[in-house]
Amino acid sequence: MTVRVRFAPSPTGIPHVGNIRTALFNWLFARHEGGSFVLRIEDTDQTRLVPGALDAIIDSLRWLGLDWDEGPEVDGPYGPYHQSQRLEHYRRAAEGLIAKDAAYRCYCSPERLEQVRAEQARRKEPPRYDRRCRNLNEDDRAQEEAKGTVPVVRFKTPLSGREEFDDIVRGHVVFENETLDDFIIVKSDGFPTYHLANVVDDHLMEITHVLRAEEWLPSTPRHLLLYDALGYAAPQFVHLPMILGSDRAKLSKRHGAVSLLEYRRQGYLPEAMFNFLGLLGWSLDDRTEIISREEFIRYFSLERIVKNPAIFDVEKLTWMNGVYVRALSPERLAELLIERLEEDLPPDVPRPLDRDYVLRIVPLVQERIKRLDEAAVLTVFFFVEGPLEYPPELLLGKRFAGKRDEARRALESATSRLPAVDRWEHDALEGALRPLAEELGLKAGDLFMLVRVAVTGQTATPPLFETMEVLGRERCLARLDDALHRLT
Ligand code: GLU
């Protein structure tokens, strides 16, 4: 059997990290098995479509490198892959079910259904359709049709018995039919509901395994009833564990971003996100955290998916991102930084940034950033051309607070000593300033901090002398001069 799996998002919102975890597990299973990964767009709920959602789904998959073998943009032998273009299949299936007496037309108005629900609520009963139209005779039906009522189609759920199946993650699962109602399979607008469209397509597209979030588990008995009534064989079900925030509450906005693309915006790398999501409910050996894409493909198995909820720990993701940032080649990091910095640096910094210059900055920041969005703050002074903006008190810091003259004298000495450095390289610069500190009776760190603020406008920077080397003689001397003026 060739494995065929699908990711079947509804374009009703911006893809959540949980949706993309589902996509990733499907993709990994397909790639591990040498099977096919299908992207199917479940767009039959016309009232809930959100403009831009489909683009965001495609963008998210592309960002993580989850390519699909069939689906929008690539097409394939089982298309079309948008459910809104497949209505004929669902219509035919629904007609077949009605003909077999496995489904029926229901003419109840929304007002009547509301009344039924209100009464059930009063009697503290679970809300469900009271099956009024389940046994209409020819005459009743003709009467309703004559009134022009547009019906929905409901499935005739057996009143007793049970649906059972073996879920690869959850084990044996049983649902009593009496807990299910006569669910709608075709809405009054003629569109199928999720249940019908999903089952018809999984059958027609020859899907072998349905990997989806645990929240769909209660839909599965309905799907099994449909498979059975339509005479289709059901696929294997694999319900993926829930994703919780660090406080063990269901992951939501309260825990920070839930949209995958928001993480891209925050400067996370796709390879880190891939690794992180891959461990939300699956593990290689309960220990290994850093796993490459190739290793994931090689080792992924349904058997190692866990039942317990997975925890989305942003701190762990950030740590992991730092690991991946440090592993990047300097060229690749430079490329990513250029893109990011051109967005984040102040508008007066001329663009495009110079690649060779950024390449010189890379070794100074690679160990110091975990997320790409930290780069601008850490490197802005490499790019600003005019005078730096910082308050004079920053120069004084704790050490020289109230001792402006002492600070000025120290800075003056540094400013007159540095032009004599003939090679503007970090070791020569350090060779000039370290002895100077001693001469002035200052701790080296205190003098260096003064110079650091003068040449960068900041107290936290990459190592001072490497930074000065990249900044270059002219810019450093001009900034030292400028700092001196501020102290005078
Ligand atoms: N359209 C459903 C969703 O949005 C698909 C669920 C399933 O995989 O069956 O997730």
State whether 91 and 164 are in the same domain: yes
* Nearest-angstrom CA–CA distance, 331 and 467: 19
State whether 191 and 103 are in the same domain: yes
CATH number at residue 313: 1.10.1160.10
Residue 123 placed within a domain: yes
Q: In this predicted model, what pLDDT tens digit does every residue of 210-262 receive, in sequence order?
A: 999 999 999 999 999 999 999 999 999 999 999 999 899 888 888 878 999 99
Closest residue by Cα to atom 8, ligand 1, is 212
Ligand 1 centroid to residue 295 C-alpha, Å: 27
Please choose, from the candidates 182, 224, 218, 172, the residue with its C-alpha nearest in 3D space to the C-alpha of residue 203: 224
State whether 96 and 234 are in the same domain: yes
Ligand 1 centroid to residue 215 C-alpha, Å: 10
Q: Which atom of ligand 1 is nearest to the CA of 9?
A: 4
Report the DSSP beta bridge partners of residue 238: 211
Q: In this predicted model, what pLDDT tens digit does every residue of 451-463 receive, in sequence order?
A: 999 999 999 999 9
Share of residues in the chain with pLDDT > 90 (%): 95
Residue 116 placed within a domain: yes
71 lines ligand 1 (CB under 6 A): no
Which amino acid is residue 70, in one-letter code? E
Final residue of a domain: which of 240, 264, 284? 240
Closest residue by Cα to atom 10, ligand 1, is 9
193 lines ligand 1 (CB under 6 A): no
DSSP letter string, 402-453: T-HHHHHHHHHHHHHHGGG-SS-SHHHHHHHHHHHHHHHT--HHHHHHHHHH
Report the DSSP beta bridge partners of residue 172: 166
281: left (phi over 0), alpha (psi -120 to 50) or beta: left
State whether 377 and 431 are in the same domain: no
CA angle 474, 480, 482 (to 5 degrees): 100
Tell me the CA end-to-end span of the chain in Å, nearest whole number. 82
The tokens for 383 are: 């790019």
What radius of gyration, in Å, describes the C-alpha atoms of the chain?
32
148: left (phi over 0), alpha (psi -120 to 50) or beta: left
120 is in which domain, residue-wise? Answer: 87-240
198 lines ligand 1 (CB under 6 A): yes
CATH number at residue 423: 1.10.10.350
State whether 333 and 361 are in the same domain: yes
* Nearest-angstrom CA–CA distance, 232 and 187: 22
CATH number at residue 181: 3.40.50.620
Residue 54 placed within a domain: no
10 lines ligand 1 (CB under 6 A): yes
State whether 443 and 361 are in the same domain: no
State whether 146 and 177 are in the same domain: yes
Ligand 1 centroid to residue 296 C-alpha, Å: 24
| pLDDT score recorded for residue 257 | 81
Q: Which atom of ligand 1 is nearest to the CA of 212?
A: 8
Answer yes or no: 253 catalytic: yes
| pLDDT score recorded for residue 144 | 93
| pLDDT score recorded for residue 386 | 84
Ligand 1 centroid to residue 242 C-alpha, Å: 14
State whether 414 and 468 are in the same domain: yes
User: Can you list the residues of the chain whose pLDDT is less than 50?
Assistant: none
State whether 169 and 132 are in the same domain: yes
Total domain count, the chain: 4
Q: Which atom of ligand 1 is nearest to the CA of 42?
A: 1
State whether 428 and 313 are in the same domain: no
Residue 284 placed within a domain: yes
Final residue of a domain: which of 284, 307, 327? 327
Q: Which atom of ligand 1 is nearest to the CA of 219?
A: 9
Please choose, from the candidates 361, 315, 320, 310, the residue with its C-alpha nearest in 3D space to the C-alpha of residue 338: 361
Q: State the residue for tokens 């020569």.
A: 428
Which residue of the set 156, 253, 398, 403 is catalytic?
A: 253
State the pTM of this model.
Answer: 0.93
Residue 13 placed within a domain: no
Residue 441 placed within a domain: yes
Residue 66 placed within a domain: no
Which amino acid is residue 266, in one-letter code? Q
**Contact between 282 and 300 (Cβ < 8 Å):** yes
Residue 150 placed within a domain: yes
State whether 268 and 340 are in the same domain: no
Ligand 1 centroid to residue 157 C-alpha, Å: 22
State whether 218 and 95 are in the same domain: yes
**Contact between 246 and 254 (Cβ < 8 Å):** no
Final residue of a domain: which of 211, 240, 269? 240
